[in-house]
């Protein structure tokens, strides 16, 4: 079987991660990190993507065998039509209500270096959905029927799968779109607690100053009792926030990803999940699984 290639992007607020994967979902180059330019104008953001395309195309030996281009974007986003709806987070404001699918098609027409991408199908997917597809196909989650995925970073992203397929069916105990972030929780919503800002607020309580997740992690590595107590409380808060979905969905497995989940070893001490859950684990390569998930999309 000849190799075909998918150009995949994991689009974050600060960094865009890009790679080329073959039809076996193997990387044919290392994952490349690029600045997002997310606070810039639309034209600057699109020219930045043009530069990234040129870099990634350099890794593809047979450019006539590019089968698709796929982007993982955080919500809000009209994924079917490729329209960015991100607003009010000081990132990608210039792309609000912009049809990126059409913008990229135009870019391929006017940029000679990108002419080989004319007519190549373009798809968009929620970033956590991409992660879930990758984990479900290639991670430990593939061994289980019902899986819940949580990516904790800037916010609390989530997804659910049943028998290897993503599900958003509310009748099966899954929240609308599979997203838990906007569920009412304590004095606000889950996203304000199970996130970087939620952990930072806890660090003020336990460490007497707001610390980044990375700084808090370093303190925990040194067995700082206050840092360990902070992560323990964070784990208990996660337990409280997602318990209703554990009850309604009854997953066999829970998978954690995202930047904050790199501290899983510390905050997982706060979990008291049901014995019915056969496995709870942290996937150490969120971006890799997300990019692999994008490459596995059948309909580009």
Helix axis angle for 213-221 and 196-207, nearest 10°, is 50
Per residue in 251-269, pLDDT (tens digit) is 999 999 999 999 999 999 9
48: pLDDT confidence band, cut at 50, 70 and 90?
Answer: very high
Q: Measured between alpha carbons, how far is 71 from 4 in angstroms, rounded to an integer?
A: 17
Stretch 89-114: mean pLDDT, rounded?
Answer: 93
157 — phi, psi (to 5°)? -85, 150
Name the token pair of 121.
């199908």
CA dihedral angle for residue 23, residue 25, residue 26, residue 29, rounded to 10 degrees? 90
Nearest CA-CA partner of 235 in 250, 220, 252, 247: 220
Per residue in 179-233, pLDDT (tens digit) is 999 999 999 999 999 999 999 999 999 999 999 999 999 999 999 999 999 999 9
Q: Measured between alpha carbons, how far is 142 from 159 in angstroms, rounded to an integer?
A: 14
Stretch 65-73: mean pLDDT, rounded?
Answer: 95
Q: DSSP assignment, residue 74?
A: P
Which pLDDT belongs to residue 274? 76
Which pLDDT belongs to residue 300? 42
Within 8 A by CB and 6+ apart from 145, the residues are 162, 163, 252
Domains in the chain, CATH or no CATH each: 5-129+291-295 (3.30.420.40), 141-282 (3.30.420.40)
Is residue 299's pLDDT more than 70?
no
**Max intra-chain CA distance, the chain:** 59
Which pLDDT belongs to residue 27? 95
What is the percent of the chain with per-residue pLDDT over 90, rounded to a whole number? 87
Three-state SS at 284:
coil
């Amino acid at each position: 079987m000849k190799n075909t290639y998918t150009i995949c992007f994991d689009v974050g607020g600060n960094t865009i991660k890009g790679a080329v994967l073959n039809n076996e979902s193997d990387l044919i180059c290392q994952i490349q990190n690029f600045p997002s330019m997310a606070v810039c104008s639309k034209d600057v953001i699109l020219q930045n993507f043009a530069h990234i395309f040129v870099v990634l195309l350099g890794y593809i030996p047979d450019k006539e065998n590019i089968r698709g281009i796929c982007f993982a974007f955080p919500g809000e986003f009209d994924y079917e039509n490729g329209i960015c709806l991100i607003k009010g987070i000081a990132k990608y404001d210039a792309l609000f209500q912009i049809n990126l699918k059409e913008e990229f098609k135009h870019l391929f027409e006017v940029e000679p270096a990108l002419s080989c991408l004319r007519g190549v199908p373009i798809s968009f997917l929620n970033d956590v959905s991409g992660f879930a597809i990758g984990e479900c196909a290639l991670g430990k989650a593939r061994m289980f029927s019902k899986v819940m995925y949580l990516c904790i970073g800037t916010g609390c992203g989530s997804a659910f799968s049943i028998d290897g397929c993503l599900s958003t069916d509310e009748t099966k105990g899954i929240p609308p779109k599979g997203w838990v972030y906007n569920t009412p929780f304590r004095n606000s919503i889950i996203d304000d607690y199970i996130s970087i800002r939620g952990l930072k607020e806890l660090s003020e309580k336990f460490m007497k100053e707001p610390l980044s997740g990375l700084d808090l992690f370093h303190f925990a590595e040194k067995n700082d009792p206050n840092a360990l107590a902070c992560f323990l409380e964070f784990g208990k808060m996660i337990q409280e926030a997602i318990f209703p979905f554990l009850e309604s969905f009854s997953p066999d497995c829970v998978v954690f990803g995202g930047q904050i989940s790199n501290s899983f070893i510390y905050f997982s001490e706060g979990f008291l999940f049901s014995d019915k859950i056969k496995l709870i684990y942290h996937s150490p390569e969120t971006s890799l699984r997300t990019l692999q998930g994008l490459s596995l999309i059948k309909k580009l």
